[in-house]
């Protein structure tokens, strides 16, 4: 079992709080949602009143997770403490700034639980438990074991879903022997992997309109630097139309990486206020995603990362710089291996 030096400070904050807000970033995924839902179960069994918040609508493909309908889009006004899950980045809590609710967080004890290997930027947090793991739910599992918090069967299922999702079925580089042991412990605790897999497969079903849209997206993929880098740009009109059904980049980003000689896939999303968000995915052996994202103020994992730009810079200039930096990082990686 992994132990965390922040555990006792977290225990102290949780013990003194009754109503606890559980907060996801503005880019929710299966890990952030399942971590929130698992933590809700754990805190409820501790006699707490957990309230879940996410500043944006949850994508429809994630609503198979039991309890997702309990996530609120409005930040609660009254709470004693908060737990931010699956991010240590202040820039990913933009909706809290928009609503003015970030000041409420700063006025109360705040815990961050994350697994990303990027420098935390949430300055108002009282304690940051950010440790290398395949998913945030893995950190929550280890923390709960260390503190003696009960993990009921529903929470175990959610933690399993999160670990399998972020690890792509225990196949990513971030998957450790401990990750696999944890899944085994969860199965010993009553979790059915066939049941989890069936639920996951249900999320892969697409509205027929998305099948045609995916084809159009693939037609627009561009290749650069001798096909090593694949890019796709998604305008606001498509984000607005298709995001309620599915996050457009996630429809095609894995297909982009299947092209011969392609090492890195980059998807840009353009918003009407000048905001640009970017997803980066790398193939095995080309682990530059986090370095590329960090160049633009973002972060993530070596094989999966992203960044957000809101300074009004020209998109084509940004795109060209992104391709140039990616090519340089790939060249540096190749030079080190020879």
pLDDT digits (tens, 9 = 90+) for 311-330: 889 999 999 999 999 999 99
Q: Sort strands 304-309 and 299-300 into parallel, antiparallel or unpaired.
A: antiparallel
Q: Sort strands 264-270 and 229-234 into parallel, antiparallel or unpaired.
A: parallel
Structural domains in the chain, sorted by start: 7-202 (3.90.1640.10), 208-337 (3.10.310.30)
Nearest to 4 by CA among 120, 160, 114: 114
Model pLDDT, residue 48: 98
pLDDT tens for each residue of the chain, 338 residues long: 789 999 999 999 999 999 999 999 998 989 999 999 999 999 999 999 999 999 998 887 787 788 999 999 999 989 999 999 999 888 889 899 888 889 888 999 999 999 986 778 899 999 999 998 999 999 999 999 999 999 999 999 999 999 998 888 898 878 999 999 999 999 999 999 999 888 777 766 778 999 999 999 999 999 999 999 999 999 999 999 998 888 899 899 999 999 999 999 999 999 998 999 999 999 989 999 999 999 998 887 788 889 999 888 999 999 999 999 999 999 999 888 77
Model pLDDT, residue 204: 67
CA–CA distance, 305 with 292 (Å, rounded to integer): 8
CA–CA distance, 272 with 89 (Å, rounded to integer): 23
Per DSSP, what are the bridge partners of residue 127?
A: 111
Residue 72 gets which letter from DSSP?
B
Record the pTM.
Answer: 0.80
CA–CA distance, 133 with 139 (Å, rounded to integer): 7
Q: How many helices (H) and strands (E) does the chain have?
A: 13, 11
CA–CA distance, 163 with 66 (Å, rounded to integer): 16
Q: Is 313 left (phi over 0), alpha (psi -120 to 50) or beta?
A: beta
Model pLDDT, residue 203: 66
Residue 241 gets which letter from DSSP?
H
Angle between helices 153-166 and 30-45 (to 10 degrees): 160
């Amino acid at each position: 079992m992994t132990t965390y030096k922040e555990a006792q400070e977290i225990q102290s904050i949780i013990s003194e709080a009754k109503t606890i807000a559980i907060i996801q970033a503005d880019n929710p995924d299966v890990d952030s949602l399942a971590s929130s839902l698992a933590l809700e179960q754990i805190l409820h069994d501790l006699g707490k009143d957990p309230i879940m918040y996410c500043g944006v609508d949850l994508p429809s493909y994630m609503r198979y997770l039991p309890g997702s309908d309990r996530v609120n889009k409005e930040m609660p006004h009254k709470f004693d403490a908060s737990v931010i899950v699956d991010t240590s980045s202040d820039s990913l809590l933009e909706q809290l700034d928009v609503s003015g609710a970030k000041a409420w967080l700063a006025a109360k004890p705040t815990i961050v639980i994350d697994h990303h290997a990027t420098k935390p930027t949430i300055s108002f947090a009282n304690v940051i438990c950010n440790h290398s793991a395949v998913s945030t739910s893995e950190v929550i599992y280890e923390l709960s074991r260390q503190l003696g918090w009960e993990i009921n069967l529903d929470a175990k299922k959610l933690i399993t879903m999160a670990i399998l999702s972020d690890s792509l079925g225990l196949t990513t580089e971030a998957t450790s022997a401990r990750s696999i042991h944890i899944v085994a412990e969860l199965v010993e605790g009553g979790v059915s992997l066939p049941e989890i897999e069936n639920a996951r497969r249900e999320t892969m079903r697409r509205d027929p309109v998305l099948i045609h849209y995916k084809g159009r997206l693939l037609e627009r993929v561009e290749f650069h630097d001798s096909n090593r880098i694949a890019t796709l740009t998604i305008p606001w009109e498509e984000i607005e139309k298709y995001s309620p059904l599915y996050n457009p980049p996630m429809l095609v980003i894995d297909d982009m990486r299947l092209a011969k000689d392609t090492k890195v896939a980059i998807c840009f999303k353009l918003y009407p206020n000048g905001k640009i968000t970017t997803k980066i995915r790398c193939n095995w052996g080309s682990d530059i995603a986090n370095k590329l994202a960090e160049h633009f103020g973002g972060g993530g994992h070596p094989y999966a990362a992203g960044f957000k730009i809101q300074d009004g810079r020209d998109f084509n200039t940004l795109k060209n710089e992104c391709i140039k930096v990616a090519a340089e990082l790939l060249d540096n990686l190749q030079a080190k291996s020879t």
